[in-house]
């Protein structure tokens, strides 16, 4: 009696919700409608608009964008100076990714295999803490640390190694007036800022390595080095690739660190900023912006084949 009365009092909205809930596919479509609309219209739409802009050109005389299909902007992108920017950025991204993987692995391995209780909590706190501070504050702090009057020069001078630093800074390409105005300084800051993004995926992958496989390897007479090479590293490698997605892509698109720490050479992010903001050449800025998207598309394809998405 009470249930019949309750059913009669239910409004059309409740009946509609019940009908949607009873159909799983319709319920899923309703849940995903808003995110897919945002992704399709706002995100993908802006990317397609960006790609379309790269096929326009800038009139050199009037400075007005000519909205006619042309490949002249892409031909301009292939100029030696612009190719140098692309190669420099990709090379720096690759070096930062490799360096972060080398530094992150022992830290992540210790946290995954040995840290327990309060020590593991301290590990997460120490890894995440740099992410809680201001990005600009960290970069400017490194600029002061790496300056010629910075603490690194002072320490090396106290221990008698300042001539070694002077010799290093005199080397072509990697050297400069100081570490804060060299490729090396840019590399150091990139490695520091993005290191947590490599540690956490590697640590998560190492925690999924079954302990009985390591014990079985030892029981079969394998040395610790052989166990690491043939058991631990292959199983944890998808986590390294997952972390590399973050370090590589973040370095590829960053323009603040090279602008504050490093020489006068441009990176992709700086080139986009300069062409769009200073030169007003939006088609060329759009072409520069498409380059990291294409590079990351290829990178993600290989990362997917290596199982990186399962480690995220």
In Å, what is the CA distance from 36 to each residue of 25, 39, 51?
15, 5, 21
Report the pLDDT value the prediction gives residue 6, as an integer from 0 to 100.
47
Residue 104 has pLDDT above 70, yes or no: yes
Residue 127 has pLDDT above 60, yes or no: yes
- Segment holding 57, helix H or strand E: strand 57-58
Closest CA to 246 of 193, 180, 294: 193
Structure tokens at 163: 């001539």
Sign of CA dihedral 166, 172, 178, 184: negative
Report the pLDDT value the prediction gives residue 98, as an integer from 0 to 100.
95
Hey, which residues does 66 pair with through a beta bridge? 57
Question: Are the beta carbons of 178 and 146 closer than 8 angstroms?
Answer: yes
pTM, 2 dp: 0.83
The greatest distance separating any two alpha carbons of the chain, rounded to the nearest whole angstrom, comes to 94
- Listed ranges 65-79, 96-110, 123-137; the one with the highest mean pLDDT: 96-110
Hey, which residues does 57 pair with through a beta bridge? 66
Q: Report, as an integer, the average pLDDT of 94-122.
A: 89
- Segment holding 66, helix H or strand E: strand 65-66
Confidence grade of residue 198 (pLDDT, cut at 50, 70, 90): very high
Report the pLDDT value the prediction gives residue 18, as an integer from 0 to 100.
66
State the Cα angle at 181 between 177 and 185, rounded to 5°. Answer: 120
Residues contacting residue 112 through CB under 8 Å, at least 6 positions apart = 203, 206, 207, 209
pLDDT tens-place string over residues 2-46: 444 444 445 565 666 666 667 777 767 777 778 888 877 777 888
Q: Report, as an integer, the average pLDDT of 278-293.
A: 84
DSSP-based three-state secondary structure for 149: coil
- CA 7 remoteness from chain centre: 54
Report the pLDDT value the prediction gives residue 279, as an integer from 0 to 100.
67
Residue 215 has pLDDT above 50, yes or no: yes
pLDDT tens-place string over residues 135-186: 889 999 999 999 888 888 888 888 988 889 889 888 888 888 888 888 999 9
Rg (CA), the chain: 26
Q: What is the DSSP letter of 55?
A: T
Question: Are the beta carbons of 94 and 191 closer than 8 angstroms?
Answer: no
């Amino acid at each position: 009696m009470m249930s019949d009365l309750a059913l009669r009092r239910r409004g059309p909205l409740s009946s509609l919700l019940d009908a949607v809930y009873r159909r799983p596919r319709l319920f899923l479509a309703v849940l995903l409608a808003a995110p897919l609309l945002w992704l399709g219209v706002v995100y993908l739409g802006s990317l397609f608009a960006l790609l379309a802009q790269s096929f326009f050109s800038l009139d050199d005389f009037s400075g007005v964008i000519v909205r006619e299909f042309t490949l002249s902007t892409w031909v301009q992108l292939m100029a030696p100076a612009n190719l140098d920017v692309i190669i420099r950025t990709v090379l720096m991204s690759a070096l930062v990714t490799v360096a972060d993987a080398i530094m992150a692995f022992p830290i992540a391995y210790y946290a995954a295999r040995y840290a327990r209780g309060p020590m593991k909590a301290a590990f997460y706190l120490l890894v995440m803490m740099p992410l809680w501070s201001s990005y600009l504050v960290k970069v400017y702090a490194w600029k002061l640390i790496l300056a010629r009057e910075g603490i690194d020069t002072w320490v090396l001078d106290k221990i008698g190694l300042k001539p070694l630093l002077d010799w290093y800074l005199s080397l072509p390409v990697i050297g400069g007036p100081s570490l804060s105005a060299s490729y090396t300084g840019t590399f150091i800051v990139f490695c520091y800022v993005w290191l947590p993004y490599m540690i956490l995926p590697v640590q998560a992958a190492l925690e999924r390595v079954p302990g009985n496989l390591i014990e079985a390897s030892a029981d079969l007479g394998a040395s610790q080095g052989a166990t690491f090479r043939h058991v631990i590293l292959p199983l944890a490698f998808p986590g390294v690739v997952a972390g590399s997605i973050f370090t590589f892509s973040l370095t590829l698109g960053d323009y603040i660190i090279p602008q504050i720490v490093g020489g006068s050479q441009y990176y992709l992010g700086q080139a986009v900023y300069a062409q769009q903001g200073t030169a007003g050449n939006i088609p060329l800025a759009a072409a520069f912006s498409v380059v990291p998207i294409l590079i990351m598309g290829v990178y993600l394809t290989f990362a997917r084949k290596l199982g990186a998405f399962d480690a995220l």
